[in-house]
Structure 1
């Protein structure tokens, strides 16, 4: 059911990731209710200043840009807990106290709009769960979706979980050339509703097909290969 939709060469996969970078960062920002427009997102990513925005919102976009650059600088790196912590430390830079960065959450958190209370993550169990996902017999796309959903529901960190999970899921996909995961703004309302249901039930039967059918993007070749 969740077969890979795309089979891209490494250079094509990186091209796709770079081509959709602004859209992906904008979507990740909107997923976290960061008040920013697409043009302003592009301007910030291009290294120029934007007036009228909160300093914190600008920093969050810069953090996403830096984390993405880290991924694209070496897409062959192994996805393990230390790698994920590194991504989170970039995503949450300036947002969390230093003692809460580069470490798993060690206290209780709540999720807005949900009665679900995630357990405090135990490092050995997290490592095993990540290994089980990465080494499963599922397609790469399904592995990426399974990791994204697991990391969001587990709330591994104090904050920035969806952003970190999204980047890491994309890293899995880009490395294998199976496309990118982008939860576009037009799908956010439905995504949020399905995620609340998933948080409370742990049932992936609705959110997973939704992500697969609407949020996997790639290069659909016709008769030509436009960037050869």
Structure 2
């Protein structure tokens, strides 16, 4: 797809409708995000943790990650300002509070993600100006945000 292609959005939510939809799906969103972090709780276990209770057999680190993901989604659904790199950093500061060397900061060191099947992805070093430009280009793009395939 080239930047000149345009697709019609199949959904058209206002900002408030987007926030309401996210709030109504908190548990599913947190559960899905937790899976990306390698956490294998069930949906009911995730809800129990989000409700402030412990779950037998779930490590404290996993509980903290779930709680931080919940807090991140709470922040996202209450923030009304236009997206900026500073807001992205604030979200990272919340969700990576227990995991990152510098929560809320752009990655400065080496590191990567195990993709399974012995695949490992290490992203390139982060340049703040490049990230700022990328975000602005995405936000100003006329490409669709939803597309039925």
TM range (shorter): 0.7 to 0.9
Contact 2:19–2:78 (CA under 8 A) maintained in structure 1: no
The aligned residue for residue 57 of structure 1 is 62
Q: 2:81 aligned with 1:80, yes or no?
A: no
- Distance in structure 1 (CA, Å) of the matches to 2:52 and 2:113: 33
TM norm structure 2: 0.82
The structure with the largest helix share of the pair is: 1
- Distance in structure 2 (CA, Å) of the matches to 1:107 and 1:55: 26
The aligned residue for residue 13 of structure 1 is 18
What do you get for the CA RMSD once the two structures are aligned?
A: 2.1
The aligned residue for residue 130 of structure 1 is 135
- After the TM superposition, which of the residue ranges 30-39 and 53-62 deviates more from structure 2? 30-39
- Map Cα deviations across residues 156-206 of structure 1 (whole Å, 9 max, x no partner): xxxxxxxxxxxxxxxxxxxxxxxxxxxxxxxxxxxxxxxxxxxxxxxxxxx
Q: 2:95 aligned with 1:121, yes or no?
A: no
Q: Select which of 43, 66, 74 maps to 1:69.
A: 74
SS at the partner of 2:135?
helix
Contact 2:20–2:77 (CA under 8 A) maintained in structure 1: no
Q: Select which of 103, 108, 111 maps to 2:110.
A: 108
- Distance in structure 1 (CA, Å) of the matches to 2:134 and 2:14: 28
List alignment gaps of at least 5 residues for structure 2: 1-5
- Distance in structure 1 (CA, Å) of the matches to 2:84 and 2:14: 23
Count of residues in Structure 1 that have an aligned counterpart in Structure 2? 141
TM norm structure 1: 0.56
Q: Post-superposition shift, 1:79?
A: 1.1
SS at the partner of 2:89?
helix
- Distance in structure 2 (CA, Å) of the matches to 1:120 and 1:32: 21
The aligned residue for residue 27 of structure 1 is 32
Ranges of 4+ aligned residues in structure 1 off by more than 6 Å: none
